[in-house]
Amino acid sequence: MRRLSHALLKLQAYFQSHFSGTAMTPSHLRPLDLYRRMLLIRQFELRAINERKSGLIPGFIHACIGQEATAVGACAALRQEDVIASTHRGHGHLIAKGGEPKYMMAELAARSDGYCGGKGGSLHMTDFDLGILGANGIVAGGIPMAVGAALAFQMRKEPRVALAFFGDGAVNEGAFHEAANLAGLWTLPMIFFCENNLYGEGTPQHKQAPVPDLAVRAAGYGFPGVIVDGNDVLAVFEATQQAVERARAGGGPTFVEGKTYRHRGHYEGDPMVYRTREELEFWKQRDPLTRFRHHLLDAGLATAAELDAIAAAITQELDEAVAFATASPAPAPASALAGVYGETHGGRVF
C-alpha cells in the first residue's frame, strides 16, 4: 500500500470533517474529478484551437493551458451558490465552476445555442445559475463586480462568497486597488485569486511591478495574502478553502496568489518572441496535469486504465460539443438587440 501524500491526507481529512454523515462526498471534490476537470479544460482548449483553425470558431482565443490547477483547485473550494468573476483567459474558470462544454463550444462558434446566444464569444461567457458572473475582456474588470456580489451577500446575510480570478497584470490596475480597499474596509466575503503566470501580454512581471510577490499588496488593504504553488491543484484547493472558510465566517477577504505559467501564447497566433524555449520547457516540466496524474498513480488512488477511461470519455464529450456547435444556427438577425443591454441571456439574477 503506497502512502498518501501530505496534501491528499489533508484533503481526506477535509472530506471527513465536512461530509461525514452525508450521503456522499460531493463529486466535484473527489481527486479523480479534480483530474477530470483539469483534463477537460486542457482538451477543450486544444479542441477549440483546432476548430478555430478549421474555421468553425472565429475571433480570439486566450488559452489557459498550463494553468488548469488554479481554476480547478480554487473552484473546488466553492459551493454552487458562491460566485466567480472570470477574465479574458476564462475557459478553465467556467469549466471548473460547472460550465458545459457544448454551450461553451457553441458560444465560441458564435452560434445561437451558446452561453450568450452566440453574441459574446470567449470574453463574455456567463451562467448565473452556476454562479459564473462572466468572463471579461477588461483587465481587472471582474474584480469590482465580484466585490459588489460579496457586498450583496453581506447585506442580505447570505452565507455565500465571491471569488474573482485575475492575472498579475490586473493587480496594477486601479480597479483592483479600489475594489480591494472597499473589500478590506467592509470585511466582505471575498477571495482575490491572482493567477500569476509571470506575463501581462508580452511584458514580464518584473517590468510591470516592483515586487515579485503580488500577495504582499493585500497588507495595504488590511487582509492576508498567501502564496501557493499554482501548478499543484491540491495546494490551491487547500489555500482557497481556508480563505473561503474565513470569508464565510465573517473574517473578510484573502488574496491568494497562485504562481503558474501559460504554455500557449497570450493569444493563439502570438509569436511569443518575449520568452525563451528554455523557460517554456522549465514550466512544462511542472505541468499541473502531469504532476497530478503521477500523484494519483503514486498514491494508489487511480490506475492508468482509469485515467485513460476518463480521457476517452472527455474525447467523446468534446466530439459531441463540436457536433452540437456545428448544428446550432447563427443568431437570427432580428434578435440582434436582444440580451445585449443590461440583461443576460435568459434574464436571470444571481
Residues 157-186 that bind Mg ion (CB under 5 A): 167-168
Binding string, residues 37-66; x marks residues near Mg ion by CB under 5 A: ------------------------------
Nearer to ligand TPP, 8 or 209 (CB): 209
**Nearer Cβ to ligand TPP, position 87 or 328?**
87
Q: Are 232 and 162 in contact (CB under 8 A)?
A: no
Taking the least distance from each CB to Mg ion, the nearer of 36 and 93 is 93
Contacts of 162 (CB under 8 A, 6+ apart): 82, 83, 84, 85, 146, 147, 149, 150, 153, 188, 189, 190, 191
User: What is the DSSP pairing of strand 83-85 with strand 162-167?
Assistant: parallel
Give me the count of residues in the chain: 350
Look at residue 47 and give the partner it binds from Mg ion, ligand TPP, none, a contact being a CB closer than 5 to 8 Å depending on partner kind: none
SS3 for 166?
Answer: strand
Q: Are 13 and 6 in contact (CB under 8 A)?
A: no
d(CA 300, CA 316): 26
Q: Please tell me whether residue 260 binds Mg ion under the rule CB under 5 A.
A: no
| CA dist., res. 89 & res. 220, Å (int) | 27
Query: 39 and 314 in contact (C-beta within 8 Å)?
Result: yes
Q: Residue 74 corresponds to which cell in the numbers above?
A: 480554487
3-class SS of residue 330:
coil
Tell the smallest beta-carbon distance from residue 47 to ligand TPP (Å). Answer: 20
88 is in the binding site of which of ligand TPP, Mg ion, none (Cβ under 5 to 8 A by kind)?
ligand TPP
Q: Which is nearer to Mg ion, 200 or 331 (CB)?
A: 200
Q: Which stretch binds Mg ion (CB under 5 A): 7-15, 198-206, 207-215, 307-315?
A: 198-206
The distance of closest approach from Cβ of residue 192 to ligand TPP in the complex, given in angstroms and rounded to an integer, is: 13
Among 70, 197, 240, 254, binds Mg ion (CB under 5 A): 197
Dihedral over Cα of 49, 324, 333, 343: its sign: negative
Residue 111 binding result from Mg ion, ligand TPP, none, given CB thresholds of 5 to 8 Å by partner type:
none
Amino acid letter for position 151 = L
From the list 78, 105, 239, the residue with the least C-alpha distance to 162 is 78
* Helix, strand, or coil (residue 140): coil
Question: Which CB atom, from 113 or from 287, has the smaller least distance to ligand TPP?
Answer: 287
Which listed range, 33-41, 43-51, 200-208, 239-247, lies at the site for Mg ion (CB under 5 A)?
Answer: 200-208
Provide the minimum distance between the beta carbon of 180 and ligand TPP in the complex, in angstroms, as a whole number.
15
Residue 107 partner contact from Mg ion, ligand TPP, none using kind-dependent CB cut-offs of 5 to 8 Å: none
195 forms beta bridges with 167, 258
**Longest Cα–Cα distance in the chain:** 64
Q: Rank residues 55 and 174 by Cβ distance to ligand TPP and give the closer one.
A: 174
Q: By C-beta, is 181 or 203 nearer to Mg ion?
A: 203
In whole angstroms, the minimum distance from the beta carbon of 230 to ligand TPP comes to: 12
Q: Which residues bind ligand TPP (CB under 6 A)?
A: 88-89, 137-139, 166-170, 197, 199-201, 266
Which residue has the CB atom at the shortest distance from Mg ion? Answer: 167
Cβ proximity of 218 and 192 under 8 Å: yes
Question: Per CB under 5 A, which region of 9-17, 47-55, 65-73, 197-205 contacts Mg ion?
Answer: 197-205
H-helix or E-strand spanning residue 179: helix 174-185
- In the complex, which residue's CB is closest to ligand TPP? 167
Q: Which is nearer to ligand TPP, 4 or 209 (CB)?
A: 209
Interacting residue ranges for Mg ion, rule: CB under 5 A = 167-168, 197, 199-200
